[in-house]
Amino acid sequence: MTTLNVKTGPMLRYDTVDLNQYIYHAFAMIVTEDATSDYSITPNMQLRWQKATALSAATADGSTTVSEDNSSKQSQAIKLYQYHGAQGSFTFWRFKIEIPLADHELAVHYSIDGEAHPTSQSEAIKGMTGHTFFLPAKSQNFRWAGHSCNGFSASVDESDFNGPNPLWDDLLKAHASKPYHALIGGGDQIYCDKLVREPEMQDWNNQTDSKKRMAHPLTDEIRNCIDRYMFNHYCEWFGGGSFAKTIAQVPMINMLDDHDLIDGFGTYPDELMRAPVFNHVGSRGYFFFLLFQLFINDEIDGVSETSHPNRSMIIGGNGEYIPFRNHSLLAYLGPKQWILLADCRSERKIDQICSKPTYQRLFDAVRNLPPGVEHLIILLGVPLAYPRMVFLERALSSSINPFVMLAKGLSPGFTNNFNGQVELLDDLGDHWCAGPHKHERNWLVERVQEISLEKHLRVSYISGDVHAAGVGVFFGYHQHDPSLDPKYSLAVITSAIVNTPPPPAVISMLNKLASKKHRSLFYCGTKETMVPLFETDLEGKAQKDKYIIGARNWCSVEYHQETAELEFDIRVEKVRGGGETKSYAVKAPAPRWDIAKQHHHLLHSKNFDKEISMLTGQPIAN
């Protein structure tokens, strides 16, 4: 029997379903230490599955006996990548998972042949008995969980929150009660900001002259340091604690945000983004994102969609500051729902989030969705609808603002180390509503509304980033029954599952700003505001701050067959570090409009709702 010293894994990643044959596609991955592993036999995975009613998630810990009459297959790993560092070499092994969907939900048990080396570090591999995950029936829509900001900022005292596990334990408890089929990461699945504390980074990081810092050479020592940090940090974070247990049982679908690379990557001036050291940090961060979160290596898998092992992959334009193409995903979540995960980081710069060629690739993919789909979820790392802070952005951008000048002198943390810019400014500049991105945002909303009408889809957005929860909403100028409104889109924000929320004063300010209805989309007949979802606080008492809540959270999402609604249930931590959550649910209605194609050109007019009502006889609700 072979021995494997598993440093990280197993981890599961869901791809999509081949609807021609109803074949479920996914992958598993482990990272092993070469010096203490036996590769005389290529690592092999055993898969067995049976009807899920015979096995609940509560008992699917690998110790459950699976009946002998179940179906089975095995999957031999491919060598995806080998990391070489001062501590030795480590191999990434990827296993392909292909299982036919059935007329009923399936419980799939998997295990890796051999035994774990006594020094194996991965939380998920201990015991080497295997794990179980769940596949929906052919006619069943996925039940899934959304999360973001799975890590702590560099300045946070983790003990104040009882560490990273409490909400992952809450999610696992919900999974044990009623299994999730997918775990969707909305960005910042890992925080790489502490890279700057590595010894080799100190000369660069401590350089007080921003111009000299940007000119700092990229030495071999710094190159090796960046790879070492990324590799070790991923192995520790994805291989430890309750998060590691979760991703061994619920297949991930992930998209990145800035902290998966480093804080604010893509939002700084061009000269910093192209500076040798900072640029290399982003490039290697993206490489390790692809490797650890998407389980791909472009050198092995290529960048051709027609031959890519990931059927959900959409290859977009070239990265603006990194040597990679845009990697977005479009995945099946059941007969009635799909999810589009847009890579909004690889092409990002101060005045661009995604390129027009990439948008066109995404729109084309959505237009090719099969008939019968009713709900499209679009994942954008940063919220599309969020309280405006334009006044703050303008104030902090001004070099002559006396407050900024005073704060720079009194508070060293007021500016970042990368280029001396105000620390908060990169966060504000990241937002879709920031001045340089506002027109792109509005253009995107218009295009998505056109596709929504054309494909008869209810579009909902889900995002993270802001360390708070809330729900924005777009709707037609003359508000009416949401089910009859192709412009009606929820914009769900679930953040953070681990990181700290903003201070109460900031949450209060955001709630005051959130009550406003914005005019920026009036020109195309669209209104937007925030949903007063949090009318009661975490103790059940009535509260004034109804729009944004500042506590750790995650989101449970389920399609309701009876009403065809998609429910987003935000689970908010009641007591900091306690892990127990309170539910705040909102539902996206099914698309029930019936608008002939010859009337689609009216979509962006202010009187669209009234004119369609006159043409179709559908009343406008008061």
Average pLDDT over residues 327-353: 97
Q: How large a percentage of the chain has pLDDT more than 90? A: 73
Same domain, 410 and 450: no
Same domain, 272 and 128: no
Comparing 207 with 518, which gets the higher pLDDT? 207
Same domain, 345 and 206: yes
Has residue 166 been placed in a domain? yes
Q: Structural domain of residue 558, as residue ranges?
A: 141-389+431-616
The residue from 373, 403, 428 where one domain ends is 428
Any idea what DSSP says for residue 170?
A: H
Give per-residue pLDDT as tens, 423-462.
443 455 678 888 888 999 999 999 999 999 999 999 999 9
Report the CATH number at residue 24.
2.60.40.10
Has residue 541 been placed in a domain? yes
Give per-residue pLDDT as tens, 108-153.
999 999 878 887 777 666 645 789 999 999 999 999 999 999 999 8
Residue type, 75: S
Same domain, 451 and 588: yes
Same domain, 116 and 151: no
Predicted confidence band of residue 60 (pLDDT cuts 50, 70, 90): low
377-387: string of b/e by CB count within 10 Å (b at 16+)?
bbbbbbbbbbb
Q: Are 570 and 583 in contact (CB under 8 A)?
A: yes
Same domain, 293 and 161: yes
Has residue 169 been placed in a domain? yes
The residue from 115, 140, 165 where one domain ends is 140
pLDDT at 77 over 50: yes
Same domain, 46 and 110: yes
Looking at 16-30, 285-299, 515-529, which range is the least confident one? 515-529
Report the CATH number at residue 360.
3.60.21.70
Any bridge partners for residue 47, and if so which? 73, 110
Distance CA 448, CA 489 (A): 10
CA-wise closest residue to 65 among 130, 136, 135 = 130
pLDDT at 100 over 60: yes
Has residue 622 been placed in a domain? no
Same domain, 237 and 363: yes
169-192: string of b/e by CB count within 10 Å (b at 16+)?
ebbbebbeeebbbbbbbbbbbbbb
Has residue 621 been placed in a domain? no
Has residue 364 been placed in a domain? yes
Has residue 276 been placed in a domain? yes
Distance CA 552, CA 384 (A): 20
Q: Quick one: pLDDT at residue 110?
A: 95
CA-wise closest residue to 195 among 163, 224, 164 = 224
CA-wise closest residue to 339 among 188, 471, 182, 445 = 182
Between the alpha carbon of residue 319 and those of residues 138, 265, 266, 290, 354, the distances in Å are: 37, 12, 10, 14, 9
Per-residue DSSP letters for 266-306? Answer: TSS-HHHHTSHHHHHHHHHHHHHHHHHHS---HHHH-S-TT
Predicted confidence band of residue 599 (pLDDT cuts 50, 70, 90): confident
Distance CA 518, CA 504 (A): 24
Predicted confidence band of residue 593 (pLDDT cuts 50, 70, 90): confident
Predicted confidence band of residue 186 (pLDDT cuts 50, 70, 90): very high
Same domain, 474 and 590: yes
CA-wise closest residue to 258 among 395, 428, 448 = 428
The residue from 140, 165, 182 where one domain ends is 140
pTM: 0.92
Supply angle C-alpha 15, 17, 18, rounded to 5.
120
Predicted confidence band of residue 516 (pLDDT cuts 50, 70, 90): confident
Give per-residue pLDDT as tens, 299-336.
999 998 888 999 999 999 999 999 999 999 999 999 99
Under DSSP, is residue 439 helix (H, G, I), strand (E, B) or coil? helix
Distance CA 495, CA 10 (A): 26
- If phi > 0 it is left, if psi is from -120 to 50 it is alpha, else beta; for residue 552 that is beta
Same domain, 6 and 96: yes
Predicted confidence band of residue 70 (pLDDT cuts 50, 70, 90): low
Comparing 490 with 616, which gets the higher pLDDT? 490
Same domain, 359 and 413: no
Please tell me the total number of residues recorded for the chain in this structure. Answer: 622
Has residue 84 been placed in a domain? yes
Q: Quick one: pLDDT at residue 439?
A: 93
If one counts the domains in the chain, the total is: 3
Q: Which segment, 115-119, 300-304, 507-511, 579-583, is predicted with the most confidence on average?
A: 579-583
pLDDT at 155 over 90: no
Under DSSP, is residue 334 helix (H, G, I), strand (E, B) or coil? coil
Same domain, 12 and 52: yes
**In whole angstroms, how large is the CA radius of gyration of the chain?**
24
Distance CA 314, CA 303 (A): 9
